[in-house]
Amino acid sequence: MSESLRARYGEWALVAGASQGFGASFADELARRGMNVVLVARQGDRLEKLAERLRADHGVEVRSLVFNLAGSDVAAMIGNAVADLDLGIFIYNAAYVPVGRFLEAGEAALEQVVRVNVRGPLLLARSLLPAMSARGRGAVVLVSSLAGLQGAPRVAAYSASKAFSVILAEALWGELDEHGIDVSVCCAGAMPTPGYLASTDWKSPGMLSPDETARQTLNALGKGPRIVPGLINRLSAQLVGRLLTRKAAIRLIAKNTGRLS
């Protein structure tokens, strides 16, 4: 298992939004499987602590890139910083999540959603994919959410941005398969990450840890464009996507997002 990702995709993986939570879990799981890792986030102190732990625990090489993923030229700068690497896996986990009623959201917060959640994965994928295509192998994981499968009241801009990631990943899956590149969107359920626990202490049924979600996601690479880790989450996705009307699905998700603060 530790060599399989390297053999299929390349020696290095890049995780954007890696400083804590789900991104850190992805980095740890990749390193456990023998991948060298590039960590990207704006919190340099957290990145370096994680990098030191990954080197000590797994004996891999780690690069830390301190960038604000909302920056206007960040995709090009990251692309230049990893141009010398055999980059095989790219994971975009970063997200900005303003919680509250849409009419109460400030314009700056909404602009941040677009910059981090939409512009970030779009342009970073465009920056990194040509080299993967030239090598004829690679994998991309865009992290979405069950909230991106239908409108989610009180996180309207976030859920809309995550729907963008779903459609982008599915389209890229269709385009890039012939280039040897696997593309998937991870529609994760709620996880007890620092960000989630700061907004609520409610535990949803079937909640997985970030570590287990990352493990299941990486295990599913190459099996299709959409990954929903966890049996309960998969049943929930089927429920809101196929069995309920859109009105019922939105009202159901509103019961969960209504607990966020």
The residues annotated with a catalytic role in the active site are 158, 162
| Contact call for residues 1 and 189 (beta carbons, < 8 A) | no
Sheet holding 226-227, edge to edge: 62-66, 36-41, 12-16, 87-92, 138-145, 181-188, 226-227
DSSP state of 130: H
| Contact call for residues 95 and 117 (beta carbons, < 8 A) | yes
CA 53 to chain centre: 21
Round to whole Å and give the CA distance between 125 and 106.
Answer: 28
Residues pairing with 186 in the sheet: 143, 227
| Contact call for residues 97 and 200 (beta carbons, < 8 A) | no
| Contact call for residues 94 and 120 (beta carbons, < 8 A) | yes
DSSP state of 64: E
